[in-house]
Amino acid sequence: MLPQEAWKILEEAEMLCDSESVQKAIKRMAGDISALLRESNPIVLVIMRGGVFFAGQLLPLLRFPLELEYAHASRYGDATTGGALHWSVAPPASVRNRAVLVLDDILDAGETLRAVRAEVLALGAASCHLAVLTLKDTGRSKLVDADFVGLTLPNRYVFGCGLDVHGAWRNLPEIYALSGH
């Protein structure tokens, strides 16, 4: 995407959550996660690429020992609709007998996170908790439930805070809805 196209998308978008609301949600989640996992020395598994923003904001607030790993699973690529799940990097075998906290940007239908949870448990994790910065209210039940949710969003195409639109704008501290969606 050309820079002028990205700027046009942002200029026409509707802000759904300002940066203060995002930070408040992440702080709340950090408290809830800490209450549950502070004594378990969990593996925190960040789902690339969308989970990077969330992880970067959340990890400094988790004041307990943990190990950091990542997996890269995607159904979107640069598209705005999901396709088949593709693993670039699968969850590591080191999750065996460990508490695992999965961090991702959004829970939409739940296909990706259901596959991640299934893989982590198949590798022998003692537990697998899902934390998502955003939950999309699609009006339908999800294939998997998140244990920790930051913000609930309307059923629109959203970007910012790790979520992208055609590969752009993951870096925004606010969350926007694409115009016309």
Domains and CATH numbers, the chain: 3-10+26-73+89-177 (3.40.50.2020)
**Mean pLDDT over residues 105-112, rounded?**
91
Residues 112-169: pLDDT tens digits? Answer: 899 999 999 999 999 999 999 999 999 899 999 999 999 999 999 999 999 999 999 9
pTM: 0.91
Q: Which of 13, 8, 6, 4 is nearest to 178 (CA)?
A: 13
